[in-house]
Amino acid sequence: MRKILYTIILYTLLATHQQTTAEKGDGLIGKPAPDWGKLRWINSDPLQLNNLANKVLLIQWWTAVRPFCKHSFAALHELHQLFTQEDFLVIGMYHPKPSHYKTLDRIAKTVNQLGVKFPTAIDIEGKILQKYWLDAKMYNQSPSSFLIGRKRKIRYIHQGDGYHQGGGKSHQQCQQDYKELKAQINKLLQEPADTTTQLTVSEAHLGKLKPDTPFREDRIQQLFPNFDIVKDTSSTEGELFPIFRIRKNSQDILVINPTSDHQHIFSVEIKNKIVKNELGANLGSTYHEVYGNQLDTNCSPGVEEQSGKVICFALGSKRIMYVFAGKWHGPDGVLPPIEILRSWELSEIVWKP
């Protein structure tokens, strides 16, 4: 009988501990922060998690009818101002309650009345909050704050009553929570940023691009978190088509071109020496260094925008092509003699999935 009673007590304590842990969200610490996809933004251009790599993010879900949400706004603005020179960003996620608060005009009016200065998105049905909690029983609990580290992982969660400074003895818990949150932000900002920008091209991949990678902005952003992604247009024979420029310090690193249906990647132009070639030749290499003193049978004169250049397949490759450029006054459409070509330099590498 005692053994049965002991087992019941132990099971009850374990269940209570598991429930408390779940309510605190401890099981989510260290897990990747979910993307929030396409949302409506009130006072900011649309933001994507993939574009905020190396920033520490404080994501606060709030609703206008909860007093604790309103009390925390002063603290959010203080943190927004305090760390304005750091890699830190406050993001508001408005979770409207009740349903009549869901019109865009009503939400925009509420945001303006509260003087919200930081970027704020609208999580109409609380679906993004549910993704973050990973549990339908918990997602409806707002306000909720998630602190995201530089590597896009959840590092700290605050749930329930607000946090702020001041307010007297009756607000001691809120004051303590504010100090804890501020300390956590400082801690995460001290962690080194991921500044890795080294890219490698091979027959199988270019960086994290693979032959089956779709020509889609969100996917490209995810694969190049430490670069700027610029959506642009180019043309061939007078026909415009979209391209993505992968940039660093205002310089093109890659230019990604689509297939005719704009669904897949047709080619990627490598524009910068930051990209290393596993086959050996890199931008600036001479034709002689790559192919020796003979005209390679896989070389041909360039056409259209590559006119006046020479394009060769890399030795042993079906996907990597080299574009050589140099001085020559011969006719277009003809390969220059080896005496001229041998000193031409590799100006561009093209990877075709």
Is the pLDDT at 110 greater than 50? The verdict is yes
Spatial strand order in the sheet of 239-248: 228-236, 239-248, 251-258, 265-270, 345-351, 320-325, 310-313, 299-301
Q: How far apart are CA 352 and CA 269, in angstroms?
A: 9
Is the pLDDT at 5 greater than 70? The verdict is no
Q: What is the mean pLDDT of the chain?
A: 82
Backbone torsions φ then ψ of 186, nearest 5 degrees: -60, -40
Q: How many CB atoms lie within 10 A of CB 197?
A: 15
Q: Identify the pLDDT of residue 59.
A: 94
Q: Identify the pLDDT of residue 7.
A: 38
**pLDDT-derived band of residue 15, with 50, 70 and 90 as boundaries?**
very low
Ranking 12-26, 119-133, 287-301 by mean pLDDT, the lowest is 12-26
Is the pLDDT at 69 greater than 70? The verdict is no
Nearest to 87 by CA among 193, 158, 183, 182: 193
308 versus 316: which is more confidently predicted?
308
Q: In order of start, what are the domains of the chain with their CATH numbers?
A: 23-190 (3.40.30.10), 199-351 (2.60.460.10)
331, 252 in Cβ contact below 8 A? Answer: no
Compute the Cα dihedral for 243, 248, 252, 255 and give only its sign: negative
245, 230 in Cβ contact below 8 A? Answer: yes
Compute the Cα dihedral for 182, 183, 184, 188 and give only its sign: positive
pLDDT one-digit tens code per residue, 116-173: 888 889 888 788 888 888 654 554 455 689 999 988 899 999 876 678 777 777 778 8
Is the pLDDT at 312 greater than 90? The verdict is yes
**pLDDT-derived band of residue 47, with 50, 70 and 90 as boundaries?**
confident
pLDDT one-digit tens code per residue, 225-281: 888 899 999 988 788 999 999 998 788 999 999 999 999 999 999 999 888 888 888
Is the pLDDT at 3 greater than 60? The verdict is no
**pLDDT-derived band of residue 10, with 50, 70 and 90 as boundaries?**
very low
